[in-house]
A and B are shown apart, each in its own frame.
Chain A
Amino acid sequence: MRTRTDLRWIWVIALAIALVLPWIFFDWKTSRHSGFVLTMLSEIGLMIVFALSFNMQMGQAGLLSFGHAVLFGLGGYTTAHALNAIRTSGIWFPLELVPLIGGMGGLAFGVVIGYIATKQRATAFAMITMGLSELVGAAALMFMTFFGGESGITTDRMIESSLVGASYSAPWQVYYLIVFWVFVSVALMWLHTQTPLGKMANAQRDNFERTQFVGYDPQLIRFWQFVVSGFFAGIAGSLYTIVYEIVTYDALAASKSANALLASYIGGVGGFFGPVLGATLVVLMQSGLSLLSNSWVLYIGVLFIVMVMYAPGGIVGLLGQHAPIARIGRLHELVLPYVRILVPALITVFGFVLLVELTSFVTIGATQGKKFKVGSLMIDAATAQPWMLAIGALLIGGLWLRLASRGFMRVWDGLIEEAKTLGGAAR
């Protein structure tokens, strides 16, 4: 079992990495930071807060919300209006504290929305959040005063008031502000799990009847958990506004809510840090993959389905399943079996990706006048060869994978059995 000091070191290391990262991509020749990298890192940061706040509902309280982006977006809109108001009124309010305004906005709307939504649980709750998400999303397009309609609300983060005297004209200054708020938010959300509300949220997720019979009203637990999660979603939305200086209806949209869901689930909703991993992965895939392929959404979707089917605990869950085997010191026995399934897996993935890209090219890419290139290799999608290669790789790889996975499972099950009998499974 990890000691408290071990965990504290991880926080310090993570903070150190976050602080140093921009300099790894620093262009020493032109003395300039990579704007693209800094924006992407900032996006990862605010997505981490967003996904963790989503997991406060889903993972910790068992509340599957399809409308979490509403709280995120409303926090963003609140911040935009606040920044504009600070500007015009000339009140001194440091930019460093502006995310708190977004947080309060998320909290306030969390109270209103939470009051309606948390009357129900499980599927009914999910449906209410879906309805509210569509409602607010459509309203954001229609109404001008608060939402600015289709063009959204623009703002300017350089309000010339700062606790540390920064102007926030340079992306790296914005990045460090984000890092600060991400760490504060993550720390607070972590501490929340150790409080009465945090623990009872878990309790009502696992057994709402027993929760009643220790004196708690499960509905009120859901409500307050929702509200607190709204606070942090609002902070994330606020950071979004500060980075992009504009907030539009797609900050509230169902697709944004889906992002939180995907990030949390892929990372792992069981523990605390899964969504951190998931958010990082999703943003990297969005920023990185989208440059290479139009179909990156498809890949994320397929990854999501595969995880729902075979790894409901997410990446963190998958890693955690290895713990018993690691404890009996036999992890190395899995290396060869893993290699044996990795090869067919890669072939299957290759075939799948090639097929997807070919199809996508034929319908979308060709009309856009692009050419199909892999590195420097030109591929003519009109001929049969690439197609046959793709389908062949997919089929052969798939069948091979099925075979190899059986062998893998045999080794795996054997090791797990041994771990159990040696008492490694129980803590």
Chain B
Amino acid sequence: MTAALSLADVRKQFGETKIIRGVSLDIAKGERHAIIGPNGAGKTTLFNLISGRFPITSGSISLNGERIDTLAPHEINRRGLSRSFQITSIFPNMTVFENIRCGLLWSRGYRYTSFRLLGRQKALNAESEALLERLNLQSRRDLIAGLLSYAEQRALEIGITIAGGAEVILLDEPTAGMSNTETEYAVNLIRTVSEGKTLLMVEHDMSVVFGLADRVSVVVYGEVIASDVPAAIRSNMAVQEAYLGAEAQ
């Protein structure tokens, strides 16, 4: 069966600096996969390579069997891959509702038209409201997104990320900077929205990793040093403490 997302000996260097030194990874359809590792290991760079922000130096990245490493980010997104960002990436000057609606536009067939009034699109607006409810942001509907609290913005970002119905979702440190309650809430949200989808996430919070992930890969210095079920990785902790340091739980 073709993996949903497949990386084959991916390498990336900026000038002379080798950031990613040969990463091979296969993520099955419907799998929830977490990537952990010390800071500077290249996790976010890996995400940036997959999502097309940077070109790879060598190797290949495939989505459902189709190579995507030469495509532009929006082309990759249209093939069913979406991502969130380490630094919250929403539309800060629009209302929460408009943010969600913009996330839905392309996938619901709207293109670069100036001939449809968004206020009159019943189906689109209904879907946006429904998604808002799922995210529990209904009460914030008409607030300018830039004014939301940090955790609410992260939730909104997850909402925009999945709005288009992408089958493969990349989440870059989704619970970064959250309190325990906020983290718990976010984890539940992620679990529900990724139901039946393929999830790849970078995380530092081990409770999140072990609570959500089916498989875990450890990235150190641009290489995957271990890739297994969470229990196996956890028992490998003794070796990895040197790398994970205070994160170990």
Set of chain A residues within 8 Å of B78, measured between Cβ atoms: 215
Chain A, range 196-215, C-beta contacts under 8 Å to B: 196-200, 202-203, 206-207, 209-215
Additional A-B contacts beyond A195-B116, A203-B91 (9; CB < 8 A)? A1-B142, A192-B114, A197-B112, A199-B101, A203-B94, A203-B102, A210-B160, A212-B73, A213-B77
A213 with B82, Cβ < 8 A, contacts A195-B116, A196-B111, A427-B144 known? yes
Set of chain A residues within 8 Å of B116, measured between Cβ atoms: 195-196
Interface centre among B89, B91, B144, B161 (most CB of A within 10 A): B91
Q: Are A210 and B73 in contact (CB under 8 A)?
A: no
Partner of B118, one of A199, A206, A224: A199
Q: Are A214 and B103 in contact (CB under 8 A)?
A: yes
Chain B residue nearest in CB terms to A425: B147
Set of chain B residues within 8 Å of A130, measured between Cβ atoms: none
A196 with B147, Cβ < 8 A, contacts A207-B90, A220-B112, A427-B142 known? no
Chain A residue nearest in CB terms to B163: A214
Q: Given the complex of chains A and B, what is the CA–CA distance between A218 and B161 in angstroms?
A: 17
Q: Given the complex of chains A and B, what is the CA–CA distance between A214 and B85 in angstroms?
A: 13
Instruction: Flag whether A426 is at the interface (Cβ < 8 A).
Output: yes
Q: Are A212 and B113 in contact (CB under 8 A)?
A: no
Q: What are 6 A-B contacts defined by CB distance under 8 Å?
A: A195-B114, A195-B118, A196-B116, A197-B113, A199-B105, A212-B77
Interface centre among A194, A198, A210 (most CB of B within 10 A): A210
Q: Are B91 and A206 in contact (CB under 8 A)?
A: yes
Q: Given the complex of chains A and B, what is the CA–CA distance between A194 and B85 in angstroms?
A: 27
Instruction: Flag whether A174 is at the interface (Cβ < 8 A).
Output: no
Q: Given the complex of chains A and B, what is the CA–CA distance between A221 and B107 in angstroms?
A: 16
Q: Are A215 and B77 in contact (CB under 8 A)?
A: yes
Q: Given the complex of chains A and B, what is the CA–CA distance between A62 and B25 in angstroms?
A: 39
User: Which B residues have a C-beta under 8 Å from some C-beta of A?
Assistant: 51, 53, 72-74, 77-78, 82-83, 85, 89-94, 98, 101-103, 105-107, 110-119, 142-144, 147, 160-161, 163-164
A228 with B160, Cβ < 8 A, contacts A209-B89, A215-B74 known? no
Q: Given the complex of chains A and B, what is the CA–CA distance between A224 and B113 in angstroms?
A: 9
Q: Are B77 and A191 in contact (CB under 8 A)?
A: no
A206 with B113, Cβ < 8 A, contacts A214-B160, A214-B163 known? no
Q: Are A210 and B91 in contact (CB under 8 A)?
A: yes
Q: Are A200 and B112 in contact (CB under 8 A)?
A: yes
Interface size class of A (residues with CB under 8 A): 20 to 34
Q: Are B98 and A199 in contact (CB under 8 A)?
A: yes
Set of chain B residues within 8 Å of A425, measured between Cβ atoms: 147
Q: Given the complex of chains A and B, what is the CA–CA distance between A425 and B147 in angstroms?
A: 9
Closest chain A CB from B50 CB (angstroms): 12
Q: Are A221 and B161 in contact (CB under 8 A)?
A: no
Set of chain A residues within 8 Å of B89, measured between Cβ atoms: 207, 209-210, 213
Chain A, range 206-243, C-beta contacts under 8 Å to B: 206-207, 209-218, 220-221, 224, 228
Q: Are A191 and B117 in contact (CB under 8 A)?
A: yes
Q: Are A427 and B143 in contact (CB under 8 A)?
A: yes
Set of chain B residues within 8 Å of A196, measured between Cβ atoms: 105, 110-114, 116, 118
Set of chain A residues within 8 Å of B142, measured between Cβ atoms: 1, 427
Q: Given the complex of chains A and B, what is the CA–CA distance between A1 and B143 in angstroms?
A: 12
Q: Are B102 and A426 in contact (CB under 8 A)?
A: no
Closest chain B CB from A39 CB (angstroms): 32
Partner of B83, one of A206, A207, A213, A215: A213
Interface string of A229-265 (1 = CB under 8 A from B): 0000000000000000000000000000000000000
Q: Given the complex of chains A and B, what is the CA–CA distance between A215 and B161 in angstroms?
A: 10
Q: Given the complex of chains A and B, what is the CA–CA distance between A323 and B144 in angstroms?
A: 15
Set of chain A residues within 8 Å of B118, measured between Cβ atoms: 194-196, 199
Closest chain B CB from A217 CB (angstroms): 5
Chain B residue nearest in CB terms to A213: B77
Q: Are B164 and A195 in contact (CB under 8 A)?
A: no
Set of chain A residues within 8 Å of B92, measured between Cβ atoms: 206-207
Set of chain B residues within 8 Å of A218, measured between Cβ atoms: 74
Set of chain A residues within 8 Å of B98, measured between Cβ atoms: 199
Set of chain B residues within 8 Å of A197, measured between Cβ atoms: 112-114
Q: Are A212 and B74 in contact (CB under 8 A)?
A: yes
Chain B residue nearest in CB terms to A217: B74
Q: Given the complex of chains A and B, what is the CA–CA distance between A196 and B121 in angstroms?
A: 11
Set of chain B residues within 8 Å of A206, measured between Cβ atoms: 91-94
Set of chain A residues within 8 Å of B113, measured between Cβ atoms: 195-197
Q: Given the complex of chains A and B, what is the CA–CA distance between A426 and B74 in angstroms?
A: 33
Chain A residue nearest in CB terms to B111: A196
Q: Given the complex of chains A and B, what is the CA–CA distance between A427 and B115 in angstroms?
A: 29
